[in-house]
Amino acid sequence: MKPRVAVFKFASCDGCQLQFLNAEDELLRLAGQVDFAYFPEARSRALEGPYDIAFVEGSVTTPADARRIIEVREESRYLITIGACATAGGIQALRNWADIEQYRRAVYPSPEFISTLSTSTPISEHVRVDFEIWGCPIDKYQLLAVTRSLLSGAQPVLPAHSVCIECKRRGNVCVVVARGEPCLGPVTRTGCGALCPSFNRGCYGCFGPANAHNMEAFARLLADQGVTGDEAMRRLRGINGYVRPWRETADALAEKK
């Protein structure tokens, strides 16, 4: 029997699970190797668990989803988070610093109809996670690599060094040095291919923290570029803003001003 794969969605934009469908060249081959038992975005028939691999997209933002993720964990041998929302709480974790009642009222005329938690949290705050794939969106080749590792019984490994190293490899001109652009590259994990610096702009942290991140030095670098206070805080409080090292540094910057 082919291994059974499930793809679950929580609060998200669908962009990460879309990477399965964006793997045009590999999709049909992959479908020969696994059974997409539960993949609502692509398949109308939903098969019951248990599942060998569950890919989870999105963060937990409602009471119902906080219960559902526990069921997903119980049904799944390996639970893999895909993307910034599932792995770090996502852009919607900006609510974690705000008054959710105000948010509800800002968007909905009758806020009492809306059921939501005051926080957006990563899957790992709720259940054990076996492996995390970072990115906003994730890279489809990383997704395929992790899937193949799991299928062959090997521990998946993805690079965790910084975007800076990727830039050097690609021969990019450093946007910090040459253009004075604020850039999260020194503290951000590789995976995008150093995309933003290749497009003449600073990295904004889609792939979360690199394994060796010196946040103190990074805050000093920003300050040297004249990026302080709220502006510095906003740089870190973005796509992966709720992840601990960035959250703590941003909170410290907010206190300091």
Partner 1 sequence: MPSRKKSRTIRVNYLTRAEGEAALRISMRDGELVDLRLEIFEPPRFFEAFLRGRESREAPDLTARICGICPVAYQMSTVHAFEQSYGITIDPAVRELRRLYMCGEWIESHALHIHMLAAPDYLGCDSILTMAEKNREAVERGLRIKQVGNAIVAALGGRSVHPVGACIGGFTRAPGRERLSGLRERLLRVRDDAVECARWVARFDLPVANRDIEFVSLRHPDEYPMNEGRIVSSKGVDAAAEDFEDCFEEHQVPYSNALHCKVKGRGPYFLGPLARINLNFDRLGPGAAAIARETGISWPSSNPYASIVARALEILYAVDEAVRVIDAYRPPDPPAAPFSVRAGVGRAITEAPRGSLYHAFETDDRGLIRAARIVPPTAQNQARIEADLRELAPELARHPQAAATRICEMAIRNYDPCISCSTHFLKLEIESH
- Residue span binding partner 1 (CB under 8 A) among the ranges 161-169, 214-222, 230-238, 243-251: 230-238
Site for partner 1 in 21-60 (CB under 8 A): 21-22, 24-25, 27-28, 31, 36, 38-46, 48-52
- Residue span binding partner 1 (CB under 8 A) among the ranges 124-132, 150-158, 166-174, 217-225: 150-158
> Is position 94 an interface residue for partner 1 (rule: CB under 8 A)?
yes
> Is position 73 an interface residue for partner 1 (rule: CB under 8 A)?
no
> Is position 173 an interface residue for partner 1 (rule: CB under 8 A)?
no
Closer CB to partner 1, residue 42 or residue 157?
A: 42
> Is position 68 an interface residue for partner 1 (rule: CB under 8 A)?
yes
Cα four-point dihedral sign 186, 188, 191, 197? negative
Contact 237, 246 (CB under 8 A): yes
Nearest to 191 by CA among 66, 73, 84: 84
Closer CB to partner 1, residue 92 or residue 188?
A: 92
> Is position 231 an interface residue for partner 1 (rule: CB under 8 A)?
yes
Beta bridge partners of 159: none
Q: How far is CA 88 from the centre of its chain?
A: 6
> Is position 166 an interface residue for partner 1 (rule: CB under 8 A)?
no
The C-alpha atoms of residue 138 and residue 128 are separated, in whole angstroms, by: 20
> Is position 234 an interface residue for partner 1 (rule: CB under 8 A)?
yes
> Is position 136 an interface residue for partner 1 (rule: CB under 8 A)?
yes
For the residues of 192-238, what is the DSSP string, one character each?
Answer: S-SHHHHTTS----TT-B-SS--HHHHHHHHHHTT--HHHHHHHHSS
